[in-house]
Structure 1
């Protein structure tokens, strides 16, 4: 009876481990397709935002995020918001500025400025006026951060997340719930510095799949070996003893 119960437990464990391996293979296929899609979008020729304000709120991650777009308009520097950032260039701020286009207003992350350049008065050369053309990647609103990230505090004008809806309420703006990460472009004074979008996806699913399948195969192999050894022992013990 004990051997039967042990066999049931081993079978359940092997099936569970194999199921986890199959799930990781499925995740690997999904992640590989995602990386291929995003890579194609990032390197595609920029396209104009053709939908207009009525269709902008329907943007989704699957269909639109990291899509390379081009738009023209006028920056509203008086509505600028600086969002704290940790980048490859060090700590600083993202400069989030609404861009008024003929089709409506869109939030644009113009790029990075160091901490001592947070105040727009310290980088007036880069606060360009007139009509501008912006090329960049569509990004969805960042309404949640990492485990230890701080929440936004609009009352103190302290921002840690690029939460477009929250920024829009504080600045009394009507914008869609996504923004455009601007590419690097020459600017007087060199700030803000665009083109710092991080497009990086961890893809360890193959390693995880091999691990789960190896555990399942190892458990099945050891169990089979122990079972055969036990049977040989029983057969040896049943033989008549010499007198």
Structure 2
């Protein structure tokens, strides 16, 4: 399984959000870092086949996403959790996750087991019959993670997945994600400690281009001691920003 992004350009109207980006994603956990407006969510939406590429090509598991036909073929390989996701408030947790499995093309004979596995992984087994409208914010976020991982998709796209989770739940999330090592996982986050704890690779986006693409250790080595930050990785992130954005 691999995802190839070649000279991808994306935007809205005359605004360029992603500018000729080229990346190859392999199994493992890749973090997307960057300030608000850097193009992280736009990239995830494009990889999720919600937005067609404005220019360039995307191949997901060998399938070129060059139109609706290619997008449909790729979608059963993709699990996507947006930062803000809508739900039918009358659905139970089980119904919600089962709907995701159905959309992803999980076979009916395997669907119930896959749904149960995903719900167990996010520690919501005792809430499986609870309606979504009755869940707390953290529980709703965990149900969203179950939505993204049910059926073990080959490409998992997570946009700020730990927002609203308490420290214990964040640790549990890290355990879940590290168990999906055979998938390509792309994690957009602002939380540097999550990146340090579980990610294999970091891509820093700014102005629609990749300012850094490499290992967590390689990025940490870029962090001068005189920049703000509580860790070498935080200081490296500040180092990669334009000087005008480094001031706190």
TM-score between the two structures when normalised by the length of structure 1: 0.22
TM-score between the two structures when normalised by the length of structure 2: 0.22
Q: Of Structure 1 and Structure 2, which has the larger fraction of its residues in helix? A: 1
Question: Which one has the largest radius of gyration?
Answer: 1
